[in-house]
Structure 1
Amino acid sequence: MNIRTATTDLYNSYCDQMRKIADVRYSLAVLQWDQETYLPPLGADIRGRQIATLTEIAHEMFTSHSFGDLLSNLVERTELTPEERRNVELSLEDYTKSKKFTPEFVRARSEAISASFHHWLLARKENSYAVFKPYLEEVIRFKREEAELLGYEKHPYDALMDEYEKGSTVDLADKIFADVQGPLRALLNEVQQRPEADDSFMQQHFPKDEQWAWGQYLATQLGFSFGAGRQDIAEHPFCTNFNNRDVRITTRISENDFYNMTWSTIHEVGHALYEQGLPSIQYGLPLGEYTSLSIHESQSRLWENNVARGLPFWTWYYPILQHRFPAQFANVGILQFINAVNKVKPSLVRTEADELTYHFHVMIRYELEKQLIAGSLNAADVPGFWNEQYEKLLGLKVPDDRQGALQDVHWSHGSFGYFATYSLGSFYAAQFWQQVNDDIPALTNELSTTGSSALLLDWLRTRIHVHGRRYTSEELCKMVTGKGLDSTVFVDYLRSKLRS
């Protein structure tokens, strides 16, 4: 047997093991999706156990000594192709991190998160943070321990941020938010000096079934394949996948708020298009996974805001919308509609915020998480800090827990370190949007005259989706746009839109 054949056999063994691990993880993901959509309330405790068992099994498979030996052997082999080498290097990096956690820790953390999620649902139903607090305390305890096990140089929150955005640190995030906060505050003050756009027509009665049909129509038009996915209702909109041929999105519907369902659907479709665009041949391997959470968010924010709050998009789709909802929109002109969907006004709920004030919502959560992990704040302090910051940054008094500290699902999932990626995603999206319009001058005309976004989706598929985790976010951004993350592109984009 020659060296290349031996290496190929080893690499195939690696692929087989990675795909078996993926099979377990995605089976686990199906249970988690069901947990958030159709699980009967009395099934919560046993479901938590089932999820914990599969989480423990997947961890043990991935961190076995034999698999570690295989990775160590493979990474030294010079016969690997560049794609093979990158898969092995990334898997070894993941393996090294995962080895820092015992199976017992992984299981206990999973059980705490499941309990936390179900009590978050109950707390939202009862509009009572007190119901959620003891379970959040337990999750925070695990996340603090996780940070210590992972290790960090300066701040414990760095360890958790790195899980979602490789190389991200408190120092970097602090600088990015400091750089944008002043310009965004100035722009907000400027906008607030002008008459407020009338969007009262967006709060009429919109029947649930008609909104649902509209959302599915939009998803299809944007390129989401229902042959490789589905849409459902959940308490908090999200996207999940089990492979690129089974991608699930969820939304929520308010019959008295047209914004809610339409833009949350477009946002989640952006995530789903990324997942459906990942290479099938790399199933279970790092190059079949998304680059980072900020790049994932760049995809959802690009479709939700750069595309679906723009005049070219609605030049085509607004007459269709008027036909579907004549009683609500027949007497509303397209420019009035565009002004409404780009209305800037401080609000309480992040997922319903405009493009400008959205980032103040993110900053509040980022600061709160950072202090929770550092130990300068505890779970009992969350509502007070939250309410104080909303009054300070957005001038709003928080009326209740549901519209306050209970509005996001992330903490109940144990997703500490995630929130900064929402803003980073918007900043990357602005750069990608600028670049695609430079590369495809006909894009705007195509959107407005045919409603087709195929040119945009193809550009995203070939420039971003196809690479999986091959590159870091910064490497990918430089390759696509010629430079790394530059938040001034986003600020300039907003200034241009809001001053026009």
Structure 2
Amino acid sequence: MTTTQHDKQWQALTAHWQELADLGGIGSLLGWDQSTFLPAGAAEGRSRQQSLLAGLRHARATDAEYGKQLDAAAGRSDLSPEQARMVAVARQDFEKATRLPAALVRDLSGHLGQSYSAWTEARPAGDFGRMVPYLEKTLDLSLQAASYFPEFADPMDYYINESDEGMTAEQVGQVFAELRGALVPLADAVIAAGAPRTDFLARGFDQNKQLAFGERVIRDYGYDFTRGRQDLTHHPFMTRLGGHDVRITTRVKENDPTEALYSTLHEAGHALYEQGIASEYLDTPLGGGVSAGVHESQSRLWENLVGRSRAFWAAYFGDWRDTFPEQLRDVTEEEMHRAVNTVSRSLIRTDADELTYNLHVITRFELERNLLSGKLAVRDLNDAWHAAYEQNLGLRAPSDTDGALQDVHWYFGTIGGAFQGYTLGNVLSAQFYAAAEAANPGLEADIARKDFSRLRSWLTENVYRHGRLYTPSDLVERATGQALSAAPYLKYLREKYGALYGV
């Protein structure tokens, strides 16, 4: 094949990748609109649109001619390592897509659109019963999808590998067991030490001022508002609508300003990752985060290791008090820092502190496994939820709203592999931060000056810019010098809460 033929072949591939990226972006746009501004009466029509688009994208992703182009490109010796990886990842994605029947892809997309719309009404009404038939169909479709990958004897392994490539349910369970064994006694000791003052958080904080403050902070972090925006939603999320369009959402409680602030910081962490991917990888198979765990590590790093640090409040407490002078008239910087690091057993995962958060994830992980294995029927999920919370956290939700209706994941996506990434992300957040600190001593002093440039630059160079260039495990080892390890995370938690609570 001549050089000109090679060039044409590569141009055809990149054009196909751009088309797939654009179709994916349009799908994300429909989902973003559904979660932010879609009128309630438009849900059925939106579901049809999503189903149609999913079918169109699946057809392009499984096109036979595209498969031939990938086969031809895989045999070339003139590709750069980055181009060869693009082809390898694309081939992997192609093979996965071709196994799934187009009808199943359309049915799943259309059904999940309807399920999400129903959930937005069922959750505030506390009506889990309304969601049972939707969830039963979601479970059936999830099992159908997994059945096309018989190399995974356990459907949970299929879904975990989809979101955290290379991990299995057994490996995740081992990490969870280590964390449970270490964190339960630490949380018990901290709780027994007594709660800090938090009364001032319920004094009523203006919504617009909350949003403006959070946006000011993430501008300092480096979130680029020329390539993104923030809006309100039921359940905060980040989404990429195009190569240079990375949006975030948050939610506000007037009697708890930490809800909007930390949701904003969390989703901005996801967005910094997406905005930091090398421009040459956008609209190619490498143009996204490499795994759920690595992605979540960035949201948790910017939310917790930075945003809940003593240095953060040294930098921002003056601005915070200037924004809400009446509410914070008798509050000190130290009290604010301790308040946002309160440890308590709670019902809501997204509101949970760092020590108990993983118990929420473990609960969901175990329920998912039981649903996929057939040990738990959907109609019994809410009762199982309450029983698990009583066992793991010593609490029972007063209504379905804070029970099995709490998270959107099962109502907007497949069942399986939806939650383990949160805890893997917690573990990796500390591992990445420790490596960044080792390479850039004095990061805490930077944070206290609102200077995030060294931290963001290290993360961009070692994590963000690579997209899917490396596998998750390779990326972690290249960035930190070791495989995924809970040791830095447990060290961080013990030191932080030991200093705060004297335990």
Quickly name the TM-score band, shorter chain normalised.
over 0.9
Q: Which residues in structure 2 correspond to 1:28-177 (within 5 Å)?
A: 28-177=27-176
Structure 1 window deviating more from structure 2 (227-236 vs 434-443): it is: 434-443
1:122-164: CA deviation from partner (whole Å, max 9, x where unpaired):
1013111011111111111100111111234431111111111
CA distance in 2, matches of 1:151, 1:227: 45
- 2:233 matched residue in structure 1: 234
- Report the 3-state secondary structure (helix = DSSP H, G, I; strand = E; otherwise coil) of the residue aligned with 1:402: helix
Q: Which residue of 2 aligns with 1:409?
A: 408
The separation in 2 between residues aligned to 1:496 and 1:401, in whole angstroms, is 37
Rounded Cα–Cα distance in structure 2 between residues aligned with 1:18 and 1:47: 25
**Farther-moved stretch of structure 1 (355-364 vs 198-207):** 198-207
**How far did 1:6 drift?**
2.9
One-letter code aligned to 2:430: A
Offset, 1:196: 1.4
**Paired residue type of 1:358:** Y
| Root mean square deviation, CA, Å | 1.2
1:394 aligns with 2:393: yes
3-state SS of 1:247 partner = strand
1:342-421 alignment, distance < 5 Å: 342-416=341-415, 417-421=417-421
Which residue does 1:429 correspond to in 2?
Answer: 429
In the TM superposition, residue 179 of structure 1 has moved relative to its aligned partner by 1.3
Deviations 1:412-471 (A, max 9, x none): 1124312000000010000011111111113211211x2121211111111111111011
Using the alignment, how far apart are the partners of 1:326 and 1:478 within structure 2?
A: 46
Distance across 2 between alignment mates of 1:293 and 1:216: 24
Whole-Å separation in 1 of the counterparts to 2:377 and 2:135: 10
Shift of 1:493: 0.8
- Alpha-carbon separation, structure 2, partners of 1:340 and 1:380: 38
Rounded to whole Å, the distance in 1 between the matches of 2:191 and 2:197 is: 14
2:340 is matched with 341
Identity score, percent: 36
Deviates more, 1:162-171 or 1:358-367: 162-171
Alignment partner of 1:465 is 2:464: yes
Distance 2:287 2:161 in 1: 20
- Unmatched tracts of structure 2, length 5 or more: none
Q: Deviations over 1:173-194 (max 9, x none)?
A: 1111111111011111211221
**Aligned partners of 1:482, 1:284: CA distance in 2, in Å?**
30
Regions of 4+ moved over 6 Å: none
Using the alignment, how far apart are the partners of 1:235 and 1:289 within structure 2? 25
SS of structure 2 residue aligned to 1:327: coil
The TM-score with structure 1 as length reference comes to 0.98
Deviation at 1:244, TM superposition (A): 3.9
Query: Quick check: 1:244–1:278 contact (8 Å CA) kept in 2?
Result: no
What corresponds to 1:246 in structure 2? 245
Q: CA deviation at 1:243?
A: 2.6
1:319-348 CA distance string (max 9 Å, x none): 110111111123111111111111110101
TM-superposed CA distance for 1:473, in Å, is 1.6
Contact 2:221 2:452 in 1 (8 A): yes
Alpha-carbon contact 1:152-1:158 (below 8 Å) kept: no
Q: Quote the Cα distance in structure 2 between the aligned partners of 1:318 and 1:489.
A: 28
Distance 1:317 1:415 in 2: 40
Matched residue, 1:258: 257
* AA matched with 2:258: Y
1:257-285: CA deviations, max 9, x gaps?
11110000000000111111112222221
Q: 2 CA distance for matches of 1:98 and 1:278?
A: 24
Q: Match of 1:429, as an amino acid?
A: S
* Counterpart code for 1:396: L
- 3-state SS, counterpart of residue 402 of structure 2: coil
Q: Partner of 2:26 in structure 1?
A: 27
Matched to 2:426, the amino acid is S
Give the whole-Å Cα distance in 2 for the aligned partners of 1:301 and 1:168. Answer: 20
Query: SS of the residue aligned with 2:304?
Result: helix
Give the letter for the 2:221 counterpart: L
Q: Which moved more, 1:276-285 or 1:380-389?
A: 276-285
* Counterpart in the other structure of 1:181: 180
Cα separation, partners in 2 of 1:153 and 1:58, compared to 1, 3 Å: closer
Letter in 1 for 2:26: S
Whole-Å separation in 2 of the counterparts to 1:5 and 1:182: 61
Q: CA deviation at 1:409?
A: 0.6
